Structure 1
Amino acid sequence: MADRNVSVFAKVASTLALFALAAPLGATVRDGVDAWSRGDYAAAVAEWQGPAEAGDPDAMFNMGQAYRLGRGVPTDMARAEELYRSAARAGHVQAADTYGLMLFQDGRREEALPYVQAAAMRGDPRAQYLIGIAHFNGDLVERDWERAYALLTLANGAGLPQAGPAIEEMDGFIPLEQRQSAAGLARQIELEAEQVRSAQLAAADLSGPTTATETVAPTPRPSVAQSPSIAAARNAVEQAREATGMEDPAVAGASFARPETPPAPAPVPPPPAPRPAAANGPWRVQLGAFGVPGNGERLWSRVSSRPEIAGRERLFLSRGRVTVVQAGGYASQADAQSACTALKRGGFDCLVTRD
């Protein structure tokens, strides 16, 4: 028993010694961040090199940033990737996110997937965009249009520029019911991401200020409409790099291939229908649910003059990050269903609901 106690005390003493060594390293890393903030990149790198070699996650991430940006050291993407990987394995979340995006951009998508999925779970809009596109195409992950629409809606709400055009494309494929369900799923994903971030913050060492967070200005993203395949998207990324000389892990070259969907039937002219005598009933015809409100405006302009809709109340309802478009004022469920049936014959999607 005495020997066992000695062994335990020896381990405790060893651990305390490691903490004693770690404290000045943290201070050194912070000094490097101060130098970086002043624009003295060489001094920052000099402060970080020793702690990075000793395995400090913040220092390794900061050195990765320096090598990626070419600040204080020559640009070396291979060395940057190595440092991000080491910091990620040591538990540095931002390094893990950056490492995953770099792998994805480099075409190593299977290797990148766990990192990108983890970043998406934390609410990173770039990762949400990539995983959303993957779910839409059924590429690397299962095809799930509802989750795809929810993730793209969140990325678009966060201001990611390429998410809006992607949602506009999705609006042409994903059925109304799935888009409407995606509103609730988006909120659920958002709440789960907040919980994940809170748990990580509670468990993390208070070393945030020791991390250099400067990022590269984003390069122009290829248009979704111009990216029918992985190869085409990646070519557009390469052209953007050559034009700007910048490197951005967020440009991942994700495909937005159109799924194999049978062509929609040609619109059939609607039969004449009587103008409603009153438009104050409780029943409604729901015309769409859109992550981009402008798509709802365009749909209303197309259908508002049809006899099934003319004279009805125009309703644009917010459902989280999704805008629901409805025509209101139908006196009975049968009236609303009749209008919806006629709209479907004309090539428009719809469903009947009540206020």
Structure 2
Amino acid sequence: MKNAYLAGAVAAVLVAGVAGADVKQGVDAWSRGDYKAAVDIWRPLAAAGDADAQFNLGQAFKLGRGVPANLPTATEWFRKAAAQGHSQAIDNYGLALFQDGKKTEALPWLEKSVARGERRAQLVLGTMLFNADGVPRDWVRAYALVTRSSQQDLPQASQTLAQMDQFIPEAQRQQGLTLARKYEADARALAMRLPPTTPGGTVANAAPPRITAPSPAASSPYPAPSARTSPAPATAVRTSPAPARPTTTVATPPATSAPERAAAASGPWRIQLGAFRDAGNARTLWGQVGSRTGGSPAYVQGGGVTRLQATGFASRAAAQQACAKSKVSCVVVAP
């Protein structure tokens, strides 16, 4: 009887300990790598309706930490937290719906994220608007949103923006840049009105889900760009994925003949090798690959980014050949 009484008392203390825990204690456990303890703390809080705990539990199921990975369960927890206005949950829920092909359902959540300036949502909605993918085509707004995403250092956005440059007329691009400035001001004003978040309330957001941003030419009446890129898969918990940088040395191709160089120098065609928020990165890339193209460098400013281009190619074929020689992701720019 005495042993049974002691066992019951210990159990009561353990239950009280979990019940009395708060979300931050779970975050602390998560930070230590004790994912199961974190999940055990968050689960009853999430069931009771705590939005932070719901978001964190969704992260645990998405990443498979402390529990088996289960994307549908993760999405359901994100939905519950998003319904309560949890900003990060809104971001993840909208992106999860998009990835699941539920674009109509995703749209209102993506719009909420875009209003706050969330860069992944800007890229996704921008490409949807460009391609008329579940929404009416709007190239001006598409360019504005992808510009804002690129300005926030999302590498996939800079790559997509370079592709859009091939198809959107200059007048619409300029309108898009004007709209992008308005979006930036609106996002700053909204951030000033939002209440501050509680430190340690949520787990740091994981790297962006695998968003294969639709190629800008996917639903365009124009030819497809000469190169396509896809974001790297998420491999770590991080808020801002670092831009990929060349890590291998490629042998320099044989030098072109004098007549070939003369033809290239006088041609109107260009190739675009990348778009960078930091102009120094554009110059660094030129130093690494520029000699392989046979062209001359041009640093085109616009939308808060510097586009690295090689100029002076006589024809589309010559430009495509230069792209191939560069050994980096590259698109041809028509005169």
TM-score with structure 2 setting the length: 0.60
**Mapped pair 1:228 → 2:211:** no
- Cα pair distance change 1:90/1:27, threshold 3 Å: same
Counterpart selection for 2:137 from 135, 143, 146: 143
Match of 2:203? Answer: 212
Map 1:19-30 to 2 at 5 A. 28-30=22-24
Match of 2:111? Answer: 117
Q: Is the 8 A contact 2:25 2:41 kept in 1?
A: yes
**Mapped pair 1:175 → 2:175:** no
Distance (Å, rounded) in 2 between the aligned partners of 1:321 and 1:107: 32
Question: 1:80-104 CA deviation, whole Å, 9 max, x = no partner?
Answer: 1111111111221111110110000
Output the amino acid matched with 2:204.
T
- Cα pair distance change 1:320/1:172, threshold 3 Å: closer
- Cα pair distance change 1:71/1:158, threshold 3 Å: same
Counterpart selection for 1:94 from 74, 79, 88: 88
How much does 1:65 deviate? 0.8
- Cα pair distance change 1:219/1:98, threshold 3 Å: closer
Distance (Å, rounded) in 2 between the aligned partners of 1:178 and 1:91: 34
Gaps of 5+ in 2: 1-17, 220-227, 241-273, 277-281, 308-333
Match of 2:125? Answer: 131
- Cα pair distance change 1:192/1:30, threshold 3 Å: same
Map 1:176-191 to 2 at 5 A. 176-191=170-185
**Mapped pair 1:195 → 2:189:** yes
Aligned identity (percent) is 43
Output the amino acid matched with 2:198.
S
How much does 1:74 deviate? 1.4
- Cα pair distance change 1:26/1:196, threshold 3 Å: farther
Distance (Å, rounded) in 1 between the aligned partners of 2:94 and 2:76: 12
- Cα pair distance change 1:127/1:25, threshold 3 Å: farther
Distance (Å, rounded) in 2 between the aligned partners of 1:195 and 1:54: 33
Q: Is the 8 A contact 2:128 2:214 kept in 1?
A: no
Map 1:308-347 to 2 at 5 A. 321=304
How much does 1:184 deviate? 1.9
Output the amino acid matched with 1:95.
A
Question: 1:45-72 CA deviation, whole Å, 9 max, x = no partner?
Answer: 1111111111111111111111111111
Gaps of 5+ in 1: 1-23, 230-235, 251-290, 305-314, 325-346, 349-355
RMSD of aligned alpha carbons: 4.1
Q: Is the 8 A contact 1:33 1:210 kept in 2?
A: yes
Match of 2:78? Answer: 84
Distance (Å, rounded) in 2 between the aligned partners of 1:74 and 1:155: 32
- Cα pair distance change 1:56/1:26, threshold 3 Å: farther
Q: Is the 8 A contact 1:29 1:48 kept in 2?
A: yes
Larger radius of gyration: 1
Distance (Å, rounded) in 2 between the aligned partners of 1:155 and 1:320: 11
Distance (Å, rounded) in 2 between the aligned partners of 1:150 and 1:187: 8
Question: 1:93-134 CA deviation, whole Å, 9 max, x = no partner?
Answer: 111110110000000110011001111111111111111112
How much does 1:42 deviate? 1.1
Distance (Å, rounded) in 2 between the aligned partners of 1:210 and 1:193: 23
Q: Is the 8 A contact 1:183 1:322 kept in 2?
A: no
Q: Is the 8 A contact 2:127 2:215 kept in 1?
A: no
Distance (Å, rounded) in 2 between the aligned partners of 1:56 and 1:217: 24
Distance (Å, rounded) in 1 between the aligned partners of 2:230 and 2:162: 25
How much does 1:247 deviate? 11
SS in 1 for 2:40: helix
- Cα pair distance change 1:149/1:216, threshold 3 Å: closer
Distance (Å, rounded) in 2 between the aligned partners of 1:87 and 1:102: 14
Q: Is the 8 A contact 2:127 2:214 kept in 1?
A: no
Distance (Å, rounded) in 2 between the aligned partners of 1:91 and 1:129: 22
Map 1:156-171 to 2 at 5 A. 156-171=150-165
TM-score with structure 1 setting the length: 0.57
- Cα pair distance change 1:106/1:90, threshold 3 Å: same
SS in 2 for 1:210: coil
How much does 1:223 deviate? 8.5
Match of 2:56? Answer: 62
- Cα pair distance change 1:140/1:60, threshold 3 Å: same
Q: Is the 8 A contact 2:120 2:208 kept in 1?
A: no
How much does 1:246 deviate? 9.1
**Mapped pair 1:34 → 2:28:** yes
Output the amino acid matched with 2:218.
P
How much does 1:157 deviate? 1.6
Map 1:238-249 to 2 at 5 A. none
